[in-house]
């Protein structure tokens, strides 16, 4: 486990936010059967978790800036540090009572992602990494998988929702190309966990377009520190600005990129 002061700050913040989310997740089940449904309640839970993270991290590291899913960008006096925060990644799963969601916090220093924490409060699974310090899953060192070929691999992806209908055709083309070569595909519904699962060797690769910086910032550090590769879908390093990502162990990342390029 990484015992740095920074990791203590980050893990304490996600555990606190996660405690609230876990409580709220229990309530979602009751609301499923109500006429109004749990929509507004989930939005409020999301905002509460973000407030907790904002308060905890601001107190521990005054002056750092924020880029948050709900609250947008908040400039800090310290221009070299920015937190990338998704208080509830996997909102749709949470809304439907599916326990695959996470709190995701990444730290950017001088334009580089240097630390990431992804925590699923429902399963109490904590994935952490700090640049140069390795990656850990519940206090144990984690590594990307050693699978070398797509046919033996499990590859995660993100499916654009109805609101992203303009991306459906391209996704279908890419999915068909990847499916034709890959053992099997997963759609977890939480990008931070897709990346955490690649880092932990549960999935061998992952790609998605239309993804936001706060969904992937923490996970990028996890995959890299677990020995994996992360790029945008063209092999470049502009994942955050191009809203596209491709990750995996070295061999699967390469084969996935090639498959996507030819799709």
> Both tokens of residue 72?
């947008």
Cβ atoms of 85 and 196 closer than 8 Å? no
Q: Does 199 bind ligand IPD (CB under 6 A)?
A: no
Q: Where does this chain touch ligand IPD (CB under 6 A) — which range of 14-22, 58-66, 86-94, 114-122?
A: 86-94
Q: Does 252 bind ligand IPD (CB under 6 A)?
A: no
Q: Where does this chain touch ligand IPD (CB under 6 A) — which range of 53-61, 90-98, 125-133, 218-226?
A: 90-98
- Across 99-131, b (16+ Cβ under 10 Å) vs e yields ebbbbbbbbbeeeebbbbbbbbbbeebbbbbbe
Q: Where does this chain touch ligand IPD (CB under 6 A) — which range of 14-22, 109-117, 130-138, 183-191?
A: 183-191
Cβ atoms of 204 and 58 closer than 8 Å? no
Neighbours of 262 (CB within 10 A): 7
Q: According to CB under 6 A, which residues from 207 to 236 bind ligand IPD? A: 208, 210-211, 215
Q: What would you report as the CA-atom Rg of the chain, rounded to the nearest whole angstrom?
A: 18
Q: Give 25-52 as a DSSP string.
A: HHHHHHHHTSSS-SHHHHHHHHHHHHHH
Q: Which is nearer to ligand IPD, 2 or 156 (CB)?
A: 156
Q: Taking CB under 6 A as the rule, which mask of x and - marks residues 154-173 in contact with ligand IPD? A: ----x---------------
For the bound state, the minimum distance from the C-beta of residue 88 to ligand IPD, rounded and expressed in Å, comes to 6
Q: Where does this chain touch ligand IPD (CB under 6 A) — which range of 57-65, 89-97, 108-116, 125-133?
A: 89-97
From candidates 191, 220, 230, 233, binder to ligand IPD by CB under 6 A: 191
Q: Does 52 bind ligand IPD (CB under 6 A)?
A: no
From candidates 24, 50, 89, 232, binder to ligand IPD by CB under 6 A: 89
Q: How far apart are CA 255 and CA 102, in angstroms?
A: 28
Alpha carbon of residue 144 to chain centroid: 16
Task: Return the SS3 of 107.
Answer: strand
From candidates 52, 82, 91, 120, binder to ligand IPD by CB under 6 A: 91
Binding site for ligand IPD (CB under 6 A): 69, 86, 89-92, 158, 189-191, 208, 210-211, 215
């Amino acid at each position: 486990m990484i015992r740095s002061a920074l990791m203590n700050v980050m893990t304490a913040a996600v555990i606190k936010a996660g405690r609230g989310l876990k409580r709220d997740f229990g309530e979602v089940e009751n609301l499923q059967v109500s006429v109004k449904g749990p929509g507004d309640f989930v939005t409020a839970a999301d905002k509460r978790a973000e407030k907790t993270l904002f308060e905890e991290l601001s107190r521990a590291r005054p002056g750092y800036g924020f880029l948050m899913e709900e609250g947008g960008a908040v400039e800090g006096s310290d221009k070299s540090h920015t937190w990338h925060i998704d208080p509830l990644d996997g909102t749709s799963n949470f809304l439907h009572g599916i326990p695959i969601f996470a709190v995701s916090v990444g730290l950017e220093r001088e334009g580089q992602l240097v630390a990431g924490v992804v925590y699923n409060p429902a399963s109490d699974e904590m994935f952490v990494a700090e640049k140069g310090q390795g990656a850990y899953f519940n206090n144990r060192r984690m590594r990307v998988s050693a699978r070398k070929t797509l046919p033996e691999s499990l590859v995660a992806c993100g499916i654009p929702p109805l609101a992203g209908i303009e991306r459906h055709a391209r996704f279908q083309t890419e999915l068909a190309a990847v499916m034709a070569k890959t053992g099997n595909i997963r759609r977890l519904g939480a990008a931070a966990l897709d990346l955490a699962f690649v880092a932990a060797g549960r999935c061998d690769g992952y790609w998605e377009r239309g993804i936001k910086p706060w969904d992937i910032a923490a996970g990028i550090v996890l995959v890299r520190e677990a020995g994996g590769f992360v790029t945008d879908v063209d092999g470049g390093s502009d994942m955050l600005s191009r809203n596209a990502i491709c990750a995996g162990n070295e061999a699967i990342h390469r084969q996935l990129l090639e498959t996507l390029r030819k799709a």
